[in-house]
Amino acid sequence: MTGRPFAVFDIDGTLIRWQLYHAIADALVKLGHIDSSEYGSIRDARMTWKRRSNPNSFKEYQKELVKVYEKVLLKISYSQFEEAVETVFEEYKDQVYTYTRDLIERLKKDGYLLFAISGSQTEIIEKIADYYGFDDFVGTSYYHQNNKFTGAYQAGFEDKDKVLKKMIAKHQAKMEDSLAVGDSTGDIKMLEVVERPIVFNPEQALFDHARKKDWKVIVERKNMVYELEGENGKYVLAETSAR
């Protein structure tokens, strides 16, 4: 291939500091489209996660959120959903990690194609992708017809490696110097496709996998970025910087 190099980003927790999928559910509550009784189970699961009650509490919270959210979509109009999406975009578009924001800017200047692959809704990922100058994106699509949701959907978080390979072929991108940024186990297959995987604020399982592969790990906390380089299954602090 003789095309441009590419970089692919997971969006939630790597560029945006929160989960956009979750933020839209919160917006639907504030707009009065999810009542307090329906939201109670989400709130309880979120508090269990915030207390770090068990290692799987975040996944349990996500599972409960998706269950309630998908029921609610069948009760609201697509127009009401779009209102929530716009609310979330305006609130969260600039709530980003500085490392990935600055990396995106550098890569654009270097002529990279920028791809986004996310489990969040296509409508919000499209807005974020356009705002930051991405060339292509994939999110989770909840199908709708005549201003109502049908209940069918296509997830954007499954088989990210296959999604990425389709993007590479579509844009005739080259593999040389290719780069990916992810933060969860769902990003592993995507990270394995590229030459330069970057593991950003990883969960435990991804960190363990990255250590076996000697992948670069970036940790951003407060106004500091810590860059860890792997060698033979061990990490050394290679660089620190203030943001």
Q: Please state, in angstroms and rounded to a whole number, the distance separating the CA atoms of residues 243 and 232.
A: 30
From the list 148, 155, 153, the residue with the least C-alpha distance to 75 is 148
From the list 175, 206, 207, 214, the residue with the least C-alpha distance to 188 is 206
Q: Please state, in angstroms and rounded to a whole number, the distance separating the CA atoms of residues 54 and 41.
A: 17
What local confidence, expressed as pLDDT, does residue 51 receive?
A: 85
DSSP 96: B
- pLDDT per 10-residue tile (average), the chain, 243 residues: 88 94 90 80 80 81 84 92 97 97 97 96 97 97 95 86 96 97 95 98 95 96 94 91 80
pTM for the model = 0.92
CATH of domain 5-17+95-139+154-242: 3.40.50.1000
What local confidence, expressed as pLDDT, does residue 214 receive?
A: 96
Collect all residues with Cβ–Cβ distance below 8 Å to 25 and sequence separation of at least 6. Answer: 34, 42, 65, 68, 69, 72
Contact 154, 55 (CB under 8 A): no
What local confidence, expressed as pLDDT, does residue 2 receive?
A: 65
Tell me the residue length of the chain: 243
